[in-house]
């Protein structure tokens, strides 16, 4: 199993710097970094194999999937202490929180389920069967739909958040890892690690509107493995981590054309945008570090 390092950011009060939270799968920790100084504020010991990491809408808590403990741990964003541990079902991978903060959606890889639970108490609401090895999880901007990706079934699954019913299954390229909604909610992008593509799915029709491929001179297609994605603050560009290709692709979100590749170091896996939209933070699994990219110049800082 390869290491992953998802990243989340918290926007603090104007007098304080933002906090960056990075999960360290093989170290059983979450690193908290000051975004101004890039100094480590604290290293938080977690359960075994922390992976997916998200914040609630009010940014007061950070939720961490600890896969080998079959649990979600919740970090208080102010004290940087673990507030509670909740049973999540087998091997939680990635997750997301509803826009109203009342529901947590967790991809359970080992039992092909999406676990829907209350984030404050851990109370189980329902389990939704999906494809084999679910990983990615993302709630739509309007909060009406949650998308889960199943790696072995090569599908994106759409769940109605009002009824918790599975309403559509969309076949994508091989081994989908991450789902990311465009800010306007018209499309959801699904990255396929082994297929080497990103599928753009129309949210109204559940049809694939575009398949985005990547070509990098001197890099073999097998090394191009898209995983984590984020959109710029204005929604005009997408940034896609390409794994062993050691680059982040810059994609025009309107034309779906690849505009640039940013060389960032060994195996970028997940990315996050600064709250003000000025920087991209890239977690890299093979070098145990993070690259900060200036988004005006697309240059690593």
Question: What pLDDT, in 10s, does the model give residues 220-257?
Answer: 999 999 999 999 999 999 999 999 999 999 999 999 99
> What is the C-alpha separation between 265 and 286, in angstroms, rounded?
9
- Residues 150 and 112: beta-carbon distance below 8 Å: yes
> What is the C-alpha separation between 59 and 20, in angstroms, rounded?
12
**Percent of residues, the chain, with pLDDT higher than 90:** 92
pLDDT at 13 over 50: no
> What is the C-alpha separation between 190 and 114, in angstroms, rounded?
17
Which residue is listed with tokens 């005006």? 296
CATH 2.130.10.10 applies to domain 7-224: yes
Q: Where are the domains of the chain?
A: 7-224
| Secondary structure string (H, E, C) spanning 2-71 | CCCCCEEEECCCCCCCCEEEEEECCCCEEEEEECCCCCEEEEEECCCCEEEEEECCCCCEEEEEEHHHCE
Query: Which of 201, 194, 109 is closest to 147 using CA atoms?
Result: 201
> What is the C-alpha separation between 20 and 11, in angstroms, rounded?
9
Question: What pLDDT, in 10s, does the model give residues 92-139?
Answer: 999 999 999 999 999 999 999 999 999 999 999 999 999 999 999 999
Q: What is the pLDDT of residue 27?
A: 94
Q: What is the pLDDT of residue 1?
A: 28
pTM greater than the 0.85 cutoff:
yes
Tell me 223's DSSP state. G
Q: What is the pLDDT of residue 17?
A: 64
pLDDT band, residue 2 (cuts 50/70/90): very low
């Amino acid at each position: 199993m390869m290491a992953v390092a998802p990243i989340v950011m918290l926007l603090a009060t104007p007098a304080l710097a933002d906090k960056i939270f990075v999960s360290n799968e093989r170290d059983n920790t979450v690193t908290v970094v000051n975004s101004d100084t890039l100094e480590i504020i604290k290293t938080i010991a977690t359960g075994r194999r922390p992976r997916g990491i998200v914040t609630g809408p009010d940014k007061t808590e950070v939720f961490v999937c600890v896969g080998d403990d079959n649990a979600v741990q919740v970090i208080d964003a102010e004290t940087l202490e673990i507030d509670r541990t909740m049973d999540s079902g087998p091997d939680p991978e990635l997750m997301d929180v509803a826009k109203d903060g009342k529901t947590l959606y967790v991809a359970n890889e080992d039992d092909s389920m999406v676990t829907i639970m209350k984030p404050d108490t851990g109370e189980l609401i329902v389990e939704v069967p999906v494809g084999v090895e679910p990983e990615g999880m993302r709630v739509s901007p309007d909060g009406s739909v949650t998308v889960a990706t199943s790696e072995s079934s090569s599908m994106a699954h759409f769940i109605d958040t009002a009824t918790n019913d599975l309403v559509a299954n969309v076949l994508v390229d091989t081994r989908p890892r991450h789902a990311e909604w465009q800010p306007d909610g018209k499309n959801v992008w699904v990255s396929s690690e082994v297929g080497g593509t990103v599928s753009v799915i129309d949210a109204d029709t559940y049809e694939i509107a575009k398949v985005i491929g990547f070509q990098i001179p001197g890099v073999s297609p097998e090394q191009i493995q898209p995983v984590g994605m984020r959109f710029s603050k204005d929604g005009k560009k997408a940034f896609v981590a390409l794994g062993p290709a050691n680059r982040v692709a810059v994609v025009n979100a309107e034309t779906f054309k690849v505009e640039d590749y940013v060389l960032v170091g060994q195996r970028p896996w997940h990315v996050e945008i600064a709250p003000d939209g000025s920087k991209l933070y890239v977690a890299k699994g093979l070098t145990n570090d993070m690259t900060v990219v200036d988004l005006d110049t697309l240059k690593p800082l």
